[in-house]
Amino acid sequence: MQPFELLEEETISEAVGVVEDDYHIKLDDFDLDRWYEDDSIENGSSISFITEYKGKSILWLADAHPSDVTNSLLKLGYSKTNKLKCEFVKVTHHGSKGNNSNELYDLIDSENYIISSNGENKYKLPNKESLARILRSSNRNLERKYNIYFNYDNDTLRNIFENDDEKIYDEYNFQTFFSKNSTLNFEIKD
């Protein structure tokens, strides 16, 4: 068992964290069949939840382990053919590759994903591999445009897909948005 860490900046997700970004890897080149889950106690104690307002749901994944969220969604009756429909998904653990699994995104039906990270932190979060899991999900309908919202705007985030051909946005039918002041405001329409 790992020791409990009080300061996230120091050692959380050390086993699956990275010291350099993976932005140089092309979206199509990630081996999404290989994956290692973050097993830190701190992230495992994080609480994920669904909020609903005017019939629209938002899935807040916090820093939770994806296997815990997946198991909970399965117990609630969700599956690959009966996905949890969400207006927005706050991507788990700042987009860490150890907290975002194929199985998790196979159970979610959403076009809007929020990344809360600036890309210039100790673990270089978000990991591009996590974005690949969302965009390349085997159960994704590519006819629906995905929106990835970043709550920061800087060159690091704007260059995540720089190594990919510009066609990648059309091929995976997605667009990115960046916040100028680290705040995202959304209007949920009826």
Residue 189 included in any domain: no
Q: Find the domain containing 30 and state its range.
A: 15-178
Residue 57 included in any domain: yes
User: Which three-class secondary structure state does DSSP give residue 49?
Assistant: strand
Query: In this predicted structure, what is the pLDDT of residue 108?
Result: 96
Residue 10 included in any domain: no
Spell out the per-residue pLDDT of the chain, length 190, in tens: 444 444 444 444 444 555 688 999 999 999 999 878 777 777 667 889 999 988 899 999 988 889 999 999 999 999 999 999 999 999 998 888 888 999 999 999 999 999 998 888 887 889 999 999 999 998 899 999 999 999 999 999 999 999 999 899 999 999 999 988 767 676 766 6
Residue 7 included in any domain: no
Q: The whole model's pTM is what? A: 0.86
| Bond prior to 3 in cis (omega within 30° of 0) | no
Residue 67 included in any domain: yes
Residue 1 included in any domain: no
Token pair recorded at residue 48:
């994920």
Helical (H) or strand (E) element with 176: strand 174-178
Query: In this predicted structure, what is the pLDDT of residue 17?
Result: 53
Query: In this predicted structure, what is the pLDDT of residue 186?
Result: 67
Distance CA 161, CA 138 (A): 20
Query: In this predicted structure, what is the pLDDT of residue 18?
Result: 56
Distance CA 187, CA 180 (A): 17
Query: In this predicted structure, what is the pLDDT of residue 16?
Result: 52
Cα angle 64, 92, 107; round to 5:
90
Domains contained in the chain, number: 1
Residue 158 included in any domain: yes
Residue 186 included in any domain: no
Q: What is the DSSP string of 93-144?
A: GGG-GGG--HHHHTTEE-SEEEE---S-STT-SSPHHHHHHHHT-TT--TTS
Query: In this predicted structure, what is the pLDDT of residue 39?
Result: 72
